[in-house]
Every structure is written in C-alpha cells, then in structure tokens.
Amino acid sequence: MKKMKEITVAIIGCGRIAQRHAQHINNTEGLNLVAVCDIDENKAKELGAEYSVPHIKNAGDLFKIEDIDVVAICTPNGHHAEHSISALKAGKHVLCEKPMAISVHDCGEMIKTAEKYNKRLFVIKQNRFNPPVAAVKKAIEENKLGKINSVQLSCFWNRNENYYHNSWKGTKELDGGTLFT
C-alpha cells in the first residue's frame, strides 16, 4: 500500500491554544510540526523547544518557507483574517482557530483568497476532541443509545477572570468582544 505524504504544519501564535494544536499535530499520524512563530520570541522559543522545531519571530518569514503545507492560525482573533490571507497567498492551506474573523467582510475575503489561490481554509471545530463529546460519539457508534430521533443540549461555557488578564483577550478590537470569547 502506498504511504500517504506527510503533511507539514507550522503554527503562528504560540499562546495557550497553540499548545493544544502542537499536541494534536504531534499525536496525529501523517502530520509533522515543522515550525512555530510568534512576535513574542520567548513564547515561540519555548513551544519550539518543546517540539524540537525552529521558532520564527516574523510571520512573513514563516510564510516564505516552501516546505510548509498548512499553517495553523492561533493568533488573537483580530489577526485571523490578516494571517490567514497572507498564508493563503503564500500557497499554504490554512487551519484557523475560531472565530474565523471579527467581521463578515473579513470572513468573505478569507474565502475569496482561498478560492483564488486554490487552497483549503478550515475553521477549527475543537469539540470533537472534547472528552465528553468523544464519549457520546463512541456511544452512538457502538449503538449504545439506540435510535436517536432528537437531541436537546444545554451547555454552559465561561471564562474566569484570569482569561481577561491577557492584553488582547476580551477587547472588542482583537477578541471581538464578549460573544467571541
């Protein structure tokens, strides 16, 4: 059987969510984390060292690296469009953290750019890795719940005060305001 080509991935934005991306990339067969990037060089160095990959301070330099197939956008929400569009124009597929962007216009520009450059743009749906969601999925696959005709779900998500101590979190400009957190 022919072996599938390894997909090379870089992460831009080395904050908390980037840790999860790196972990899942590292644990997924066929994916290879090859670089990380952050304007905070210490964050980039730390994540890069943990996964033995180079760290890059400038996004433009990251996008110039030819052997990167996919860029995972883990920057503040207000930069998702800018970084996604730049990566797409550089010939990279994009895996973008949620929300896709702060404005509908920016979302449209991201989609147009992906279409123009014939690249994939995927917005994260992280809950498939959430243990309760995975347990329900497994129960459904094993037919432990019988025939499901309807589902109603109430879910409470919140951010504690520590979340907002970061310079961009909770701000309208870079986080999109309260409904985007």
**Residues 9-28: pLDDT tens digits?**
999 999 989 999 999 999 99
Q: State yes or no: pLDDT of 169 exceeds 60.
A: no
pTM exceeds 0.75, yes or no:
yes
In degrees and rounded to multiples of 5, residue 36 shows phi and psi of -130, 155
- 80 and 95 part of one domain: yes
- Distance CA(68)–CA(30), nearest Å, equals 14
- 116 and 160 part of one domain: no
State both tokens at 155. Answer: 């879910």
* Strand, coil or helix: 71: strand
2, part of any domain: no
In degrees and rounded to multiples of 5, residue 55 shows phi and psi of -110, 145
36, part of any domain: yes
1, part of any domain: no
What are residue 121's DSSP bridge partners? 94
What pLDDT score does 24 carry?
Answer: 93
- 46 and 83 part of one domain: yes
Average pLDDT, the chain: 89
Counting the structural domains of the chain, the total is: 2
What count of other Cβ atoms lies within 10 Å of the Cβ of residue 31? 16
- 80 and 47 part of one domain: yes
- 21 and 36 part of one domain: yes
What are residue 179's DSSP bridge partners? none
- Distance CA(33)–CA(52), nearest Å, equals 9
Class of residue 55 by CB neighbours under 10 A (exposed 0-12, middle 13-18, buried 19+): buried
Q: State yes or no: pLDDT of 179 exceeds 80.
A: no
What pLDDT score does 170 carry?
Answer: 59
pLDDT digits (tens, 9 = 90+) for 23-67: 999 999 999 999 999 999 999 999 999 999 999 999 999 999 999
- 121 and 50 part of one domain: yes
Q: What range defines the domain where residue 139 resides? A: 132-180
Q: Who has greater pLDDT, 164 or 152?
A: 152
Contact, 34 vs 67, CB < 8 A? yes
- 17 and 101 part of one domain: yes
Q: State yes or no: pLDDT of 136 exceeds 80.
A: yes
- 159 and 114 part of one domain: no
CATH number at residue 106: 3.40.50.720
